[in-house]
């Protein structure tokens, strides 16, 4: 129904129509103005007497999970367990309707990852150790064979040898630096190269960073320069792939208690300091990170690329 026709129906208190066949969003007429269903729901609930909490309920982000990513297919790399940032992302992407391919590091990790992937309805569950020659290519070959295309990639892996991670940057070994860069940074570049031919209609590539890439953070050590290289790679990839409508982002959460983070020396102290300094005095969780990732993957973020998006409750803004 044309927009002008909807406006002419302003005598109708509330008319629900299908506004976009492609996306399938519902819209409502509110005093002659077409608004999104969620927005109309806020109006309607806030007008109900005896419902002081109605507005808060309507704005609860969990109540807005729908099918805004339905039809999209994506690869999620980096799930180790239910506390992983990658799992928070996969959960929200699946909740918004996306179809997923999920990888696990090795046989030991598979027994934790496979049940989680199955709960999310992942169509493909594949092994991927980026340090093993040919494994990454095998994952993308399988996606090409099964799906024929790819709409997004979530890269959430990082590694540095313990001695190099716990030591000073000035003492980092060449081998340790090369391994940290290969796993944490170059693997994202390699995934971008393999994903490009599968994203003929555009897509998005996302990786995880940390504000230690921009500021000196105690005990983050060699991962600071490595994440800085990753964020720079995001900017260059975004510029190179823009003509193909492939958008690229780094997402930078605050400190989260994940298995990977446990390798950082004095991590509990870092977390306690972050809680004290964050304006809201609490840390974000993996679900909040996942919602931002789902937004970036969707068409609502079509005008964005090349950015590092902070999801840390404002921590990076505090001196």
Active site (catalytic) residues = 210, 220
Residue 235 parent element (H or E)? helix 223-241
Angstrom distances, CA of residue 270 to CA of 56, 63, 80, 220, 283 = 32, 33, 22, 10, 12
Q: What are phi and psi of 310, to 5 degrees?
A: -85, 130
> Helix (H) and strand (E) counts for the chain?
12, 10
The C-alpha atoms of residue 318 and residue 273 are separated, in whole angstroms, by 12
User: Which is nearest to 226 in space by CA: 207, 213, 211, 239?
Assistant: 213
Residue 311 parent element (H or E)? strand 308-311
The C-alpha atoms of residue 275 and residue 99 are separated, in whole angstroms, by 35
Q: What is the DSSP string of 181-232?
A: HIIIIIHHHHHHHHHGGG-TT-EEEEEE--GGGTS--TTTTTHHHHHHHHHH
């Amino acid at each position: 129904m044309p927009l002008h026709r909807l406006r002419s129906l302003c005598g109708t208190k509330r008319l629900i129509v299908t506004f976009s066949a492609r996306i399938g969003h519902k819209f409502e007429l509110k005093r002659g103005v077409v608004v999104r269903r969620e927005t109309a729901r806020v109006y309607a609930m806030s007008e109900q007497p005896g419902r002081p909490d109605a507005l808060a309920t309507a704005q609860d982000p969990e109540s807005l999970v729908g099918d805004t990513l339905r039809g999209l297919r994506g690869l999620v790399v980096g799930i180790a367990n239910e506390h992983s940032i990658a799992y928070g992302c996969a959960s929200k992407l699946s909740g918004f309707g996306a179809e997923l391919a999920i990888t696990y590091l090795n046989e030991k990790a598979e027994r934790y990852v496979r049940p989680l992937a199955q709960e999310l309805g992942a169509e493909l569950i594949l092994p991927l150790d980026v340090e093993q020659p040919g494994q990454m290519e095998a994952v993308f070959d399988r996606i090409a064979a099964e799906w024929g295309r790819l709409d997004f990639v979530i890269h959430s892996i990082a590694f540095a040898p313990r001695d190099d991670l716990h030591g000073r940057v000035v003492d980092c070994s060449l081998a340790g630096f090369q391994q940290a860069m290969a796993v944490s940074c170059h693997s994202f570049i390699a995934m971008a190269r393999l994903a490009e031919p599968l994203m003929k209609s555009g897509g998005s590539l996302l990786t995880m960073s940390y504000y230690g890439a921009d500021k000196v953070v105690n005990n983050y050590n060699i991962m600071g320069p490595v994440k800085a290289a990753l964020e720079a790679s995001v900017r260059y990839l975004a510029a190179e792939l823009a003509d193909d409508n492939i958008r690229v982002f780094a997402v930078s959460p605050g400190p989260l208690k994940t298995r990977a983070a446990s390798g950082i020396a004095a991590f509990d102290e870092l977390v306690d300091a972050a809680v004290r300094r964050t304006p809201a005095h609490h840390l974000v969780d993996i679900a909040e990170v996942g919602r931002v990732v789902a937004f970036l993957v969707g068409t609502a973020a079509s005008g964005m690329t090349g950015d590092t998006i902070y999801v840390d409750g404002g921590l990076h803004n505090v001196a």
